[in-house]
Amino acid sequence: MKSGVSPKRRCNCFFIAVLGLAILSMLVPLVFLLGFHSSGFPFEQETSLGNALEGYGLRNFSHIIRIIHQEHVNNPIEEMPVRSGINNSSNKSPMQVEQGNFGPPAGNYVHVPSPTRNEVKISSPVQVIQPAKNVDENEMHCELRFGSYCLWRREHKEVLIDSMLKKMKDLLFVARAYFPSIAKLRPHEKLSTELKQNIQDFERIIGEATTDSDLPSHLGEKLQRMEAVIARSKSIRVDCNNVDKKFRQLLEPIEDEANFHTKQSAFLYQLAVQTMPKSLHCLSMRLTVEYFNKGSMDLEVSPTESIVDPELYHYVVLSRNILASSVLINSTVAHAKESKKLVFHILTDRENYYSMKMWFLKNSFSESAIQVLNLEDYIPESYIKTPDLSLAEEFRVSFQPTHKLPPMHYKTEYISLFSHSHYLLPKIFKNFDKIVVLDDDMLVQKDLSGLWKIDMGKNVNGAVEMCAVRLGQLSSYLGRNSLNSSSCVWMSGLNVIDLAKWRELNLSETFRKFVKQLDIEGTHYEAAASRASLLTFQDLVYPLDDSWVLSGLGHNYGLGSQAIRNAAVLHYNGNMKPWLELGIPKYKSFWVKFMNRGDQFLSECNVSL
């Protein structure tokens, strides 16, 4: 029986199918990449794509939320654009609250995809930003839109080298703007011809040159002629509206191009600061393999008495970062007067549990005791919707200190707060009445034993307060709740916790109720954690002296050396962590000296900062 389809037709169909697959294989990656521009993923967005990327070493992608004080406006941060059709809207608000690397937005907000913990973050410590003499309004607006990327860009601004080539492009721009108007004037045909000739000469030279060294030696004469013909053009009475219109036509594509590259750079910056460095990923993998190669049963050791002794100094660290945890503990022990009284409890996730255990089995830290726990073993199914370890939430809050100032006069404060994982601490450490919680992006410079002698009275949380931001200023952000508007915002990083009073007041349940309430009001669960933290500890914070912690080493380039030396603890909150290539160089040296540089795995994984 003959087939109903000829061999030639079958061959053609097969060829078309193969061709279609080949085209798709090229288009799919292109669409995937362009999706960053069009899918609303410019900075830190927690979408399905973000979750997929996280599996490949990205830290926590997040969302930006913008809260306008007593007013909703369109979000000034547009989605990542393609080169055409860029939206240049620049709506401003008297106040913006932007959530960083942990968790989606909530409440009364205009939600856009965003960029510590892992920016907009509300990201790290205190920083007051006011227009400086060398910072124009565009730079200030950039920071409102893109956060600490603009601080980094300003600090790494390249010196203009090819100034002559730039001057030529500027002159060409002006000449092109005047030419259509001059060309319409018959009495000035000669000038029009000269202007056209100079434009053509400049276009040819600029087309052949990429640097000043490529420019011809006789360029001086051409510059003089172009400047002279432009001066003559400006002296003639022309319709200013036509010149202005031409200027705008020429400027629009240039602005679009610049806007595109700014957004692209901001996205790549956020990608860099939120991605685990290859060397640290290598370190985690090597340690995990080593743990199982050694025989996990052989490495298990019985807990020492100090681990459960309530009379000792118990420090709790939530971390996924082996190197950061190691530096934190090493610096704490190095400055302790009685290191044998120090006990560190590291709470990590399942992915990093074995590598973290292997590291602290290999490395000793004086006479201190170290316990590594998998946080997920302590999370009841009913407690939260996502049982992953979450680190401190970081935010950036920008607002005008007074309505009398111009719109661009604002200040920015960086805040970090407890995440939902912190509310498991009373359950995990049920035999302790007091602990000190440390973020893993901190460095200790002095003995911390004085923290254990503080009498906090009826308060539960000993923390450094930031009175530049008060709860009353965040009323729109915190939902329909009664607030003590004069209460200061407190900071996570170094926190003395009275677990006995925490249990007595059942604050973990209070936190869950606030989260549930905010979730009902439209706030995403993850984003609700930070709001709920502020509400849970309202009027229960004991203000620690500011000398305990200096914040901002992860975003503020302007911290003085004297302030750094005087601080008991340095907090590298912000995007530019010291273990990243983008970390602020002048602050890295304090952190790097507490690395165990002699470790074999650090060398094999090329961990060098």
Q: Are residues 251 and 328 in the same domain?
A: no
Q: What are the residues facing 397 on neighbouring strands?
A: 97, 413
Q: Are residues 255 and 339 in the same domain?
A: no
- Tokens representing 173 are 């721009």
pLDDT digits (tens, 9 = 90+) for 134-154: 445 566 667 777 888 888 888
Q: In this structure, what is the dihedral angle of CA atoms 36, 37, 38, 41, given to the nearest 10 degrees? A: 50
Q: Is there a domain that residue 109 lies in?
A: no
Q: Is there a domain that residue 196 lies in?
A: yes
Q: Compute CA distances 135 → 139, 254, 277, 457, whole Å.
A: 6, 22, 32, 46
pLDDT digits (tens, 9 = 90+) for 501-549: 999 999 999 999 988 887 766 566 666 788 889 999 999 999 999 999 9
Q: Is there a domain that residue 235 lies in?
A: yes
Of the candidates 274, 297, 328, which is a domain's last residue?
A: 274
Q: Are 114 and 43 in contact (CB under 8 A)?
A: yes
CATH of the domain at 296: 3.90.550.10
Would the pTM of this model clear 0.75, i.e. be above it? no
Q: Comparing C-alpha atoms, which of 370, 500, 495, 375 is closest to residue 430? A: 500
% residues pLDDT > 70 (the chain): 71
Q: Are residues 246 and 303 in the same domain?
A: no
Q: Are residues 533 and 579 in the same domain?
A: yes
The pLDDT, as a whole number, for residue 520 is 67
Q: Are residues 226 and 294 in the same domain?
A: no
Q: Are 36 and 80 in contact (CB under 8 A)?
A: yes
The string of DSSP letters for 247-299 reads HHHHHHHHHHHHHHHHHHHHHHHHHHHHBPPHHHHHHHHHHHHHHHHH-HHHH
pLDDT band per the 50, 70, 90 thresholds, residue 84: very low
Q: Are residues 295 and 194 in the same domain?
A: no
Q: How many beta carbons lie within 10 A of that of residue 393, not counting itself?
A: 32
Quote the CA–CA distance of 578 and 532 in Å, as a whole number: 29
Judge whether residue 49 has pLDDT over 70. Answer: no
- Tokens representing 593 are 């000296």
Task: Count the domains in the chain.
Answer: 2
Q: Are residues 468 and 565 in the same domain?
A: yes
pLDDT band per the 50, 70, 90 thresholds, residue 17: low
- Tokens representing 406 are 């111009």
- Tokens representing 177 are 């703007």
Long-range Cβ pairs for the range 16-25 (8 Å, 24+): none
Residue 276, judged by CB atoms within 10 A of its CB (0-12, 13-18, 19+), counts as buried
Q: Are residues 355 and 367 in the same domain?
A: yes
Range of the domain at 219: 163-274
Of the candidates 274, 307, 332, which is a domain's last residue?
A: 274
Q: Are residues 292 and 240 in the same domain?
A: no
Q: How many beta carbons lie within 10 A of that of residue 507, not counting itself?
A: 19
Of the candidates 274, 303, 334, which is a domain's last residue?
A: 274
The pLDDT, as a whole number, for residue 106 is 29
Q: Are residues 267 and 170 in the same domain?
A: yes
Q: Is there a domain that residue 3 lies in?
A: no
Q: Comparing C-alpha atoms, which of 378, 220, 192, 358 is closest to residue 284? A: 358
- For the chain, give the longest Cα–Cα distance: 100
Q: Are 211 and 241 in contact (CB under 8 A)?
A: no
Average pLDDT of span 127-136: 39
Q: Are residues 223 and 292 in the same domain?
A: no
Q: Is there a domain that residue 121 lies in?
A: no
Q: Is there a domain that residue 392 lies in?
A: yes
Q: Are residues 189 and 236 in the same domain?
A: yes
